[in-house]
A and B are shown apart, each in its own frame.
Chain A
Amino acid sequence: MNTPRSIREIFGFFFFLGRRTGKTRVFALLGLIPVVLAVVVRIVLHGRSGDIAAVFTEILMVFFLQFYIVILALFYGTSVTAEEVENRTLSYLITRPLPKPAIVLGKYAAYALLMFAMVAVSLTLSFFVMNAARLREPALYLTFLSYLGVLGLGILAYTAFFTFLGTVLKRAILVGLVFGFGWENVIQYFPGSTQRFSIVHYLKSLLPYRPAPGGGGKGVALLLFRLEPTSTLLAVLALIGIGAAFLALACWLFRMKEYLYEE
């Protein structure tokens, strides 16, 4: 089978498998939290004036950007190869007429789509619940699409990075956790261009709303503290570049490396 066909078949199988597992249900349920929060926001902040995007960025994007997509990408990204080795099911895949990179790419695509579906449902519900009064404003839909785009790019980049970690390291989750919840948060306190060595920097740069320094609640302080944004085009290119580079590395490593099961 040629590589594109192999990717498609792997994608189909693992998208189906991914939907089946209890873990996906748990992660999907987690996505309901912003919906509940959106309802709470609607009730509590009813009539509060200001930009829709501002409220959304200040409150719910903290959940999506700082937690949800990171934890999803960490779990599913490291699963691409690590779960096959841990569960010893890799034999079923690499003794088929499939190019090895197709296994990585197909699983990556399946899990990325699965995550995107979870995030999209959660974002759609929470965003429109929060902005139910403004459904007639065309700008609202553009804002929504830009949030969806940011999160989609985030999923692509983070998942590629964690897929790479899962391919290269035995205990990728340790490094992944330190990166996702340590480095990505701490980096914003570093001076100069250091924050550009993180994925979250480019995602924050793409947010449709960025408050002035010092404004907003604690959520904003967490999310946009000392942000020196990169231009939109560069940020998009950087995220695509990060995704493509780590995915290519993961494919190359998976092809070259042999995996031994732990006794």
Chain B
Amino acid sequence: MATVREKGYSHWDGKLGERRFPWWPITRTGIQLAFRKKRFKFVFAGAFVPAFVFLVGLYVSERLEDFKSFVRESDRLLNIGPKYFSAYFTNDSLLFLIVLVLAFGAAGLIADDIKHSSLQLYFSRPLSKTDYLLGKMSVIFFFVLILTALPGLVLVIFKLIFAGSFKFFLDYPWLPLSILGYSALLTVFFAFYVLLLSALSKNARYVIVLIFGIYIFSNVLYGILNSIFRTPYMALFSVSANLQQAGAFIFGQKLPQAVPAGWSFLVLAGICVLAAVVLNRKIRSVEVIK
């Protein structure tokens, strides 16, 4: 009879088997789970309202003669250019809707795993911490890109179709790049922001409150500090003001605050770095067994 050897936990030092996209099942499941909720579908569909409004604006801009009586003084607004696209990407309602979509579709991404102690299950498979985080982040990438880059590019295409020429594209050849660049910025920022908060609690309801609370609180704080100090630098305390500042810079527009855009990029990058540090500490493959 073979000897029963002493058993204990030991780290496996071998190399993980190669697989091209080990994070994909996590992403797919995350997206599927979000769409299983009826209310999420409703909110997600509602998040396209700004895109629809701007699409109508595009159409009207090409038919100004037909809509003369409606638009009158708004024709300046309907002068389609980078400013119009910047207005779509940086308007409060789009940012609010993105936060809303993420609060309901992504709050539980890590919180639920912590709640059900399933981190060990993930890491008992050939999956690294980076794969896990990339899988979770990709869920957020999917939602944010679908609400930003996709409608942004669709708006450009419709502009070209409505205009019937490539003049718009020749006038602003860099615009698609701005759209992709700002969408990428929003995507990366929100991925870190939401995952950071999702990793702080095992209660998804609490995470939803945090995602919303911090976003709103930063705006309220900006308002209060601005009342006290009366300096535009206080906008750096606001998540949305920083995103709007960065957006205006990327679209080559006048900055909404008289603060160099670099500061806003720094603040946003700082939040991402903080999130990366916290996530690195919180997501552990080996847990102490109680």
Partner of B205 from A71, A86, A219 at Cβ < 8 Å: A86
Contact yes or no, B216 A63, CB < 8 A? no
Known contacts A71-B209, A75-B209; decide if A62 and B220 are in contact (CB<8 Å).
yes
| B9 interface hit (Cβ, 8 Å) | no
Contact yes or no, A82 B205, CB < 8 A? yes
Contact yes or no, B209 A74, CB < 8 A? yes
Contact yes or no, B208 A44, CB < 8 A? no
Partner of B224 from A63, A86, A173 at Cβ < 8 Å: A63
Give complex CA distance A137, B181 in Å: 57
Give complex CA distance A66, B226 in Å: 16
The stretch that binds A, out of B26-34, B78-86, B165-173, B227-235, is B227-235
Known contacts A44-B228, A59-B228, A67-B217; decide if A181 and B223 are in contact (CB<8 Å).
no
Q: Is the interface of A mostly helix, strand, loop or mixed?
A: helix
Contact partners of B209 in chain A: CB under 8 A = 71, 74-75, 173, 177
Q: Is the interface of B mostly helix, strand, loop or mixed?
A: helix
The stretch that binds B, out of A4-12, A33-41, A190-198, is A33-41
The total of chain A residues at the interface (CB under 8 A) is 35
Known contacts A71-B213, A174-B104; decide if A78 and B205 are in contact (CB<8 Å).
yes
CB of B184 to closest CB in A, whole Å: 27
Contact partners of B103 in chain A: CB under 8 A = 174, 177
Known contacts A67-B217, A174-B104, A177-B103; decide if A217 and B206 are in contact (CB<8 Å).
no
| A60 interface hit (Cβ, 8 Å) | yes
Give complex CA distance A82, B206 in Å: 12
CB of A136 to closest CB in B, whole Å: 25
Contact yes or no, A222 B223, CB < 8 A? yes
Contact partners of B220 in chain A: CB under 8 A = 62-63, 66-67, 222
Nearest neighbor of A175 in chain B, beta-carbon distance: B39
Partner of B230 from A58, A217, A220, A222 at Cβ < 8 Å: A217
Interface on A for B, CB 8 Å cutoff?
23, 30, 33, 37, 40-41, 44-45, 58-60, 62-63, 66-67, 71, 74-75, 78, 82-83, 86, 171, 173-174, 177-178, 181-182, 216-220, 222
6 inter-chain pairs at a CB distance below 8 angstroms, sorted by A residue, are A59-B227, A71-B217, A171-B104, A177-B209, A217-B227, A219-B224
For the complex of A and B, the 10 pairs showing the least CB-CB separation, nearest first, are A217-B227, A219-B227, A67-B220, A218-B223, A71-B213, A219-B223, A75-B209, A59-B227, A173-B208, A177-B212
